[in-house]
A and B are shown apart, each in its own frame.
Chain A
Amino acid sequence: MIKLQTFAEDFAEIRALGRRGVLGGAAALGLAGASGAARAQAPKEVVLCNFGGDAVKAMTEAFVVPYEKKTGGKMVIDGSGPSNGKIKTMVMAKNVTWDVADSGLGGTGELGPAGLLEEIDYSVVDKNKVLSGFAYKYGVCNYMFSTVMAWDTAKVKEKPTLADFFDFKKYPGKRLMRKDSQAMYELALMADGVPKDQLYPLDVPRALKKIAAIKKDLLFWGTGAESQSMLRDGEVVMGWLWNTRATLLQRDTKGKVTFSFDGGLLQPGLWVVPKGNPAGKQVWVAIASMQEPEGQVKLLAALGNGPANPAAAPLVPAELKPLDPASPDNVKVQAKIDGEWYEKNYARTRQEFLDMIAS
């Protein structure tokens, strides 16, 4: 839990936001137990790897149950955490045990170009069931999340702009950023006046300069829990963090810490398929099944991850709409990440960001 966490890792840790999954861990265990029984005609078993915790229960309810009902196949969730390093080790050792992994642009950006992922088969997986711009060569969106600005209302009386994040005369006090370049570059550039629809290709030197200028007043979070506690404990007055954690903060502090999707960055969680996955083509059927809006709304209710399929919007209950990063109202006020840019440039530009912090 010390290392730099990905969004997928973090949301697995989050306690359910509202209703808890009705299917408990017992169901997940039962499924895992029954998986050994071979069924000759049934499609190959699909192993989904995520980061464990409540994400196992939530994804069982949202994805496994509908898939098994629809296809008669089996899907098993392995919560052991598909970090880039683990996927690389698996593929290089030719001992791949996962079919589909909960990843993100960090996964497609680093693993895809290295030849460690299968290309998504869009003859089975439906590109139209994904918000436009979030279906890529090596990964397809499974849920949406945002990087948003949260602030401590005791110190920041009015709703701050992104530019206020860099204005220490107006609001003295430490600021919080993620120890990773993704979304930090974008928000810094928007603070510097770049319009949200003209961010890409990112002007990385400009973003680095902007951030480096306030580095002594910055703290960096590695895990979602860390971002939450730094704002809750008053260590910082403003911070850029994931919407799921911002929602928890707002609830736990009864609004003392609050956030807005304005000027946030909409990002995709991505399904990736390790090269040489055991279930072969059956994985595309499984991914296609997980594109159904009903399951995605369940995931939003349980953990706060926004549905990837725009058709889910009408199904989202009214009380969840303001918290849904992918709701049409919230999408309008945010910038959208450009996955293709990340595929080409993430590895290099992230290293530059880390090196800037370390210097």
Chain B
Amino acid sequence: MNDRRSAWLLIAPALLLVGVVYFLPLARVLAISVMEPEPGLGNYALLFTSAPIQRVLLTTLRICVFTTSITLVLAYVVAYVLTHARPTAQRLMMLGVLLPLWMSVLVRAFAWVTLLRRQGLVNNALIGMGAIDEPLALMWNEIGVTIGMVHYMLPLGILPLWAAMRDIDGRVLAASRGLGASATQTFVRVFLPLSLPGVIGAGLLVFIFSLGFFITPAILGGGKTIMVAEYINVQIHESLRWGVGTMIASTLVATIFALMFALSRLVDLRTLFGAK
């Protein structure tokens, strides 16, 4: 009983901090969304009536789904190799995974601009090799945004997958092979199902991160690929439609909480975030 009380006391400062600097402002955002320009749910009605807002949300959803799917496939391959590599190779590979994580997202977006633009490295190389005559439109569209985002999200996909794969008991795989299953069968019927919680966790993590992405779409989208974070920014800073901006922000937060809740039903969050 006493233990319990001291535990609460110990986390009280953290709770207080989260309450004051996180939930309080969040509550104010929510309040603005139902108070401006007039009290009521008028702003939320826009979700169903405003074609432009629906298009922005759809664009966001589409890019997030593509980003998440591509990231998962690539991350799965990397995590798989990482799990089965020798310790030295593993350390090197880990460095390769983590290094981009420490680089500013801005720097990475501009690096992609250099690579993907019409007279960028990729197009010039392809034209030089005679593979294409006209530069490919690799950037200033959703392709560019997706490439940039997948690059950003890869470590966020690889790490949870790697954590999940590492915990798979090697003896189970050995047993499967010992009982006569082929390598493919072992992978499909034993390894894949066992790694599935990792896949779901990594997928939701990447998806949630993608939803609020701002810098990469703004730089690589050529001004035309407007995702929800940029739309909110314009509403708050430029057009001063705070009611609309906070409404979309609140909707985004609600979506993320719902996804987190779904995630917590499917996998143990503590494993995912390395707390166990």
Q: Residues of A with Cβ closer than 8 Å to B?
A: 2-4, 83-85, 88, 106, 110-111, 114, 179, 215, 218-222, 233-235, 347, 350-351, 354-355, 357-359
Q: A4-B234, A110-B240 are in contact. List 11 more A-B contacts (CB 8 A).
A: A2-B106, A2-B215, A83-B238, A114-B240, A215-B224, A234-B118, A235-B117, A347-B240, A347-B241, A350-B238, A358-B52
Would A357 and B224 count as touching, CB distance under 8 A?
yes
| Given known A-B contacts A3-B233, A234-B119, A222 and B239 have beta carbons under 8 A apart | no
| Given known A-B contacts A179-B223, A219-B223, A351 and B118 have beta carbons under 8 A apart | no
Complex CA gap A357/B231 in Å reads 12
Task: Return the chain A residue nearest B236 by Cβ.
Answer: A85
Would A4 and B238 count as touching, CB distance under 8 A?
yes
Minimum distance in angstroms from A85 CB to a CB of chain B: 4
Complex CA gap A350/B238 in Å reads 10
Chain B 199-226 per-residue mask, 1 if CB under 8 angstroms from chain A, else 0 = 0000000000000001100110011101
Residues of A within 8 A of B224 (CB): 215, 218-220, 357-358
| Given known A-B contacts A219-B140, A234-B119, A355-B52, A3 and B237 have beta carbons under 8 A apart | yes
Task: Return the chain A residue nearest B219 by Cβ.
Answer: A2
Minimum distance in angstroms from B40 CB to a CB of chain A: 19
Residues of A within 8 A of B55 (CB): 355, 358-359
Residues of A within 8 A of B119 (CB): 233-235
Residues of B within 8 A of A111 (CB): 240
Q: How many A-B residue pairs have CB under 8 A?
A: 79
Interface residues in B241-260 by Cβ distance below 8 A to A read: 241-242
Residues of B within 8 A of A4 (CB): 234, 238
* Interface SS majority for chain B: helix
CB of B1 closer than 8 Å to a CB of A: no
Would B214 and A358 count as touching, CB distance under 8 A?
no
Complex CA gap A50/B52 in Å reads 33
Complex CA gap A222/B224 in Å reads 11
Contact partner of B223 among A110, A220, A234, CB < 8 A? Answer: A220
Complex CA gap A83/B238 in Å reads 7
Most chain B Cβ neighbours within 10 Å, of A4, A114, A215 = A4
CB of B173 closer than 8 Å to a CB of A: no
Complex CA gap A84/B238 in Å reads 6
Would B226 and A357 count as touching, CB distance under 8 A?
yes
Would A233 and B117 count as touching, CB distance under 8 A?
yes
CB of B51 closer than 8 Å to a CB of A: yes
Most chain A Cβ neighbours within 10 Å, of B118, B119, B239 = B239
Would B59 and A358 count as touching, CB distance under 8 A?
yes
Residues of A within 8 A of B122 (CB): none
Can you name 13 A-B pairs with beta carbons within 8 Å? A2-B215, A110-B240, A114-B240, A220-B222, A221-B223, A233-B117, A234-B118, A351-B241, A354-B52, A354-B226, A355-B55, A358-B52, A359-B51
Would A357 and B117 count as touching, CB distance under 8 A?
no
| Given known A-B contacts A233-B119, A354-B234, A2 and B222 have beta carbons under 8 A apart | no
Complex CA gap A233/B59 in Å reads 28
Would A84 and B237 count as touching, CB distance under 8 A?
yes
CB of B56 closer than 8 Å to a CB of A: yes
Q: Which 6 pairs between the two chains have the least Cβ-Cβ distance?
A: A220-B223, A355-B52, A85-B237, A358-B226, A219-B222, A2-B218
Task: Return the chain A residue nearest B221 by Cβ.
Answer: A220
